[in-house]
Copies of this chain bind each other. A is one copy, B any other.
Amino acid sequence: MSNDERYPVGSVRTTFRIVEALEQRGTAGVTELAEEIGLSKSSVHKHLTTLESLDYVVRDEGTYRLGFRFLGVGNRVRNRSELVSIAKPAIENLSRTAGSVTNLMVAEHGYGVYAYRAGEQFETSSYLPPVGGRVYLHATAGGKAILSQFSDEEVETVLDRRGLPSLTEKTITDEQALRRELRSVRDRGLAFERGEHLPSVQCVAAPVTASGRPVGAISVSGSIDQMSGKKLEEDLAGLVVSTANAIEVTLLRR
């Protein structure tokens, strides 16, 4: 076992390597997984047997796949979050008035995670990161909205961990440029995303804070031909900010 300081229980790391390989492939066999992970067949088999007994993996005629139990855990995590339950009706409203996809993003481990989304039916053309999916904070409107409320040191920690990878030709990859952008976001209370994450996706977001700390961000996204110019920069921007404010007020009154 790789005895990294960060993974004191090596076999847990192994198991989640297998889980993540299964997550990517959808369905896979023992040999296939063993080769991918670089483990012996027998070890992989032991892990799969254990995971199956725990109901996290389903054995289907000599092949394996992840079970729906993960869906249960994931939904429980989400439903326990006070922020999500408060933001849910708010962004559903926002989605209806804006006629666009709206998201709640939270930050975790230096990534942004889409915790909830409404109005998926408005976006049929372009591909959006799935709910629960992790994205880079520096390349998304919601991510920049959250980062803008972080201290300089906290931003530094995120950059050290995740870097500034380029996702499209418009992604901000220079740290000084990002710092400038974050100052502007902080001043306006608004973040825009213009093809920095996905080439044809535009986005506007506002941070949600509780007692001075950022707890998430509200965003509206759409394809580049759906929203631009005044609609994006004024109409949608105003809606996003007022929704974020409404959520903040409700968070206080809980």
Contacts and interface: CB of A to CB of B under 8 A. Distances in A.
Interface in A1-53: 4, 6-9, 11-13, 15-16, 19, 23, 26, 46-47, 49-51, 53
A165 interface: no
A67 interface: yes
Given A50-B13, A55-B109, A109-B55, A71 B8 contact: no
Interface string A91-115: 0000000000000001011010101
Contact of A23 (B58, B73, B130, B132): B73
A26 to B, nearest CB: 5
Contacts of A47: 8-9, 12
A76 interface: yes
Given A71-B132, A106-B68, A108-B67, A12 B77 contact: no
B132 A51 contact: no
Interface in A126-147: 130-134
Most chain B CB within a 10 A radius of its CB, from A4, A75, A108: A75
B6 A134 contact: no
A233 to B, nearest CB: 30
Contacts of A69: 108, 113, 132, 134
Number of chain copies forming the complex: 2
Given A47-B9, A68-B77, A56 B16 contact: yes
Contacts of A132: 68-76
A170 to B, nearest CB: 25
A66 to B, nearest CB: 5
B7 A53 contact: yes
Nearest to A76: B23
A180 interface: no
Contacts of A70: 70, 73-74, 77, 132
A12 B49 CA distance: 11
A12 B11 contact: yes
B9 A79 contact: no
Given A4-B53, A68-B113, A70-B73, 4 more contacts: A12-B47, A12-B50, A55-B108, A69-B132
Give the top 5 A-B pairs by smallest Cβ distance, nearest first. Answer: A74-B74, A72-B132, A71-B132, A71-B74, A8-B46
11 contacts: A7-B54, A11-B12, A12-B12, A12-B54, A23-B73, A68-B108, A71-B78, A72-B74, A72-B130, A74-B132, A79-B130
